[in-house]
Amino acid sequence: MSGQPDPATEAYYRRIAALSLAIEQSARGGATQEVLEIAEAVNHHFAWEPFSGGAETPPDPIAAAGLECLRAATLQDLDLAIARLPVFPAVAQRALQMLMSSDWSGVELEAVASSDQKIAAELIGAANSGPSGARRSISTIAHAISYIGAARAARILYAASLRPLYSSAPLRPLWMHSLAAAQAARTLAESSRAADPDEAFLAGLIHDIGRLAMMMLPAAFQSRFEYLTRAGCEPFLAERMLSGFSHAQAGARALKGWRFPEPLVTAVEFHHQPEKTGDRLAAILFLVEHWSDAGEDVPSAARLRLALERAQLKESDLARLVPQQDRSIQALTYT
């Protein structure tokens, strides 16, 4: 025995220290309880959630006092942030409506792709970057669709239409994560048969879109969020402590405004809290986040077990997961 704490214990100590300092700095007129006691109460409130069966449990008075000190944004702030987001691409809306329907054709796909020259160029470029390579250069949308297949072309089209939302340098790592999550979600859905693979791909692409809105919340939120996360508090937890909502809820709120289908909205909203819904797609997204080791939330054995059961998978299946890499999709990454 080295006497050193395990990683989970170290993470707990860092989180409590960060919370204690943040509460002490934010308290107006001084806290009525010891700062450490408040920090531990706040942490306990969120740590107990996976075992609540999805029921909303109000914080006890001590935790409520801590959350009041930390609060730096409201739902009104979120709605203002969502209103300032870039307009959701029209071609992405059209592609989504087509992909979520049970009956669409390559001709319809070609019409959608042709409505935006830049997206059409992205599709053609992705087709030319395929693993086997075309015998001759692909120069038309119709040729691209026939060469790589309508279903694959549709996935590329949708991803290409979302890519401009993440064009600024700070957002590019988030786009890379979204592309990886989409391919992992599709692979998990195929192997488990717990969800439609193409729907899982779409959900993976948009699962973190709420982070775009969170980045537009007031300066007080941004400074406290940066402090907490740098000090060791997990981002998903820090969001909820500072605002009462998370990027998952922010994403669902934005998607509802953009009239996304309910299955995708639900999956995004609960992709960190699968116990709050019976949705299998939300469980798959949770498993993708766990598999990718994104570090967005406090690890939870209870949530992992529930998500695996819902997706009819074993932890060994997740350990062996190797997402199907589509080089045409990888062509949409930023270098």
In the chain, domain spans: 1-70
The token duo for 330 is 């990888």
118 in Cβ contact with 91 (< 8 Å): no
4 alpha carbon, distance to own chain's centre: 33
* Nearest one of 6, 8, 4, 5 to 300, comparing CA atoms: 8
The token duo for 7 is 């990683």
Whole-angstrom Cα distance, residue 166 to residue 177? 11
Residue 230 CB neighbour total at 10 angstroms: 9
52 in Cβ contact with 275 (< 8 Å): yes
Interacting residues of 128 by C-beta distance below 8 A, sequence separation 6+: 134, 137, 138
- Packed helices 35-47 and 61-70: angle between N→C axes, nearest 10 degrees: 100
Angle (nearest 5°) at CA 291 between 286 and 293: 100
Residue with tokens 């075992």: 51
Tens of pLDDT along the chain (335 residues) come to 456 667 788 888 999 999 998 988 887 555 556 899 999 999 999 999 988 777 788 899 999 999 999 999 999 999 999 999 988 888 888 888 887 877 788 888 899 889 888 888 988 888 887 654 555 688 899 998 888 888 888 888 889 889 889 989 999 999 999 999 999 999 999 999 999 998 999 999 999 999 999 999 999 999 999 999 999 899 999 999 999 999 999 999 999 999 899 999 999 999 999 999 999 999 999 999 999 887 899 989 999 999 999 999 999 988 888 887 777 787 788 76
| Ordered alpha helix ranges (H), the chain | 7-26, 35-47, 61-70, 75-83, 90-99, 106-114, 117-128, 141-148, 150-162, 172-192, 197-206, 210-214, 219-231, 235-243, 247-257, 262-269, 280-292, 301-310, 315-319, 327-330
Whole-angstrom Cα distance, residue 177 to residue 294? 9
